[in-house]
Structure 1
């Protein structure tokens, strides 16, 4: 990573900063001189490992066109980027950039980008915030929202509480709650859960009940409605443990 090694973002050499670089940059980083002059940018964290070691980052899950997307909010990224794999699933057609954009990443010196996906509708519950994202090869995040997006939407990252505040921090328009990179929810199997409980760990069983939806009535069930005298409208509780006598009475002389 150039930030860690102290090398110049323009020429890649150590000993000076980009603002003091005197190297001629008329040629592109790949040696091709027939392209338009490039604009530089940087994305320092493209994996959860990188993000966990970088300050000013939180993660979260949003939606685009009904698809769940794993998002990194990163104040260290100059531009917003979208995974090339996920970009192939959206219906938005990329458009050509006016200038070639060279993005510095932790994986290689720079990546030359020529297209952009514009006005991707990021859904925050009932709120929509559009994003322009550059396609980039990465596998752990679907989208990285950088300073271009944060500035456009007046969004502030509050790292201590893992929140993104939209608008005035004292009178926010709305607040999105994310999580710390690398601290996503862990899922274990039922067998592991049983083992942990047997070793004294506490377990909690939670249920969700939607109070806004109508509870189905027994009268609406095609079979149960024929036996209303057998099935009560409400169950007072779990049936008590008792013996059930079961027998089959045959009529004498009956034959199949």
Structure 2
């Protein structure tokens, strides 16, 4: 969480990103100056799509909690739910130390003592909220954590696993019935 020109923003530390990004929404909403990139950049998103990036913002100063930071090169990209992604370029420049077991990132900006950011402890029970509630809370300045998971284990679903269908196995048989025989046919009209 942070603020950029008094606007609450969602900041994501992303060790999987080589570059840092700012949302097109932030750029437009705050009328930030942009520079055209010398070469178009094709970015692969975590969900498999590709996005062409043609602009960047330089020397953007924002607050992350009490820490004032500068991002020297943020590439402008359309994003949902995240306003700034700080990739390895920014993390390296700010001497980020990541302690996975402690769920902590420590930043050491020049001339200041290290600032530590903590994630939610694993033993703390978290409540499930809707996406709308989460978005509202994020905009109010509550901390948020974005995780992208991908699973490969495809399990065959059985009719017994479906909540309502499993209660009526005689109505929903495993196979389709074969052709039926007609015992008698009454063609008279009433």
Counterparts of 2:116 and 2:39 in 1: how far apart (Å)? 33
Counterparts of 1:70 and 1:176 in 2: how far apart (Å)? 17
Tell me how far 1:187 sits from its aligned partner: 8.6
Pair 1:105 & 2:45 matched: yes
Note the alpha carbon deviations across 1:203-224, whole angstroms, 9 max, x for none: xxxxxxxxxxxxxxxxxxxxxx
Pair 1:159 & 2:100 matched: yes
Report what 1:117 is aligned to: 57
Residue 83 to residue 128, structure 1, CA distance change in 2 (3 Å):
same
Corresponding residue SS for 1:144? strand
Counterparts of 2:116 and 2:64 in 1: how far apart (Å)? 7
Show the 5 A alignment for 1:1-256.
61-131=1-71, 132-167=73-108, 173-179=113-119
Unaligned runs of 5+ in 1: 1-60, 189-256
Residue 135 to residue 178, structure 1, CA distance change in 2 (3 Å):
farther
Counterparts of 2:15 and 2:78 in 1: how far apart (Å)? 20
Counterparts of 1:120 and 1:63 in 2: how far apart (Å)? 11
RMSD over equivalenced CA pairs, Å: 2.8
Q: Is the 8 A contact 1:63 1:69 kept in 2?
A: yes
Counterparts of 1:122 and 1:96 in 2: how far apart (Å)? 22
Tell me how far 1:147 sits from its aligned partner: 0.2
Tell me how far 1:178 sits from its aligned partner: 3.9
TM-score normalized with structure 2 length: 0.56
Counterparts of 1:62 and 1:70 in 2: how far apart (Å)? 6
Tell me how far 1:110 sits from its aligned partner: 2.3
Runs of 4+ aligned residues of structure 1 deviating over 4 Å after TM superposition are 185-188
Higher relative contact order (CA 8 A, sep 6+): 2
Unaligned runs of 5+ in 2: 130-190
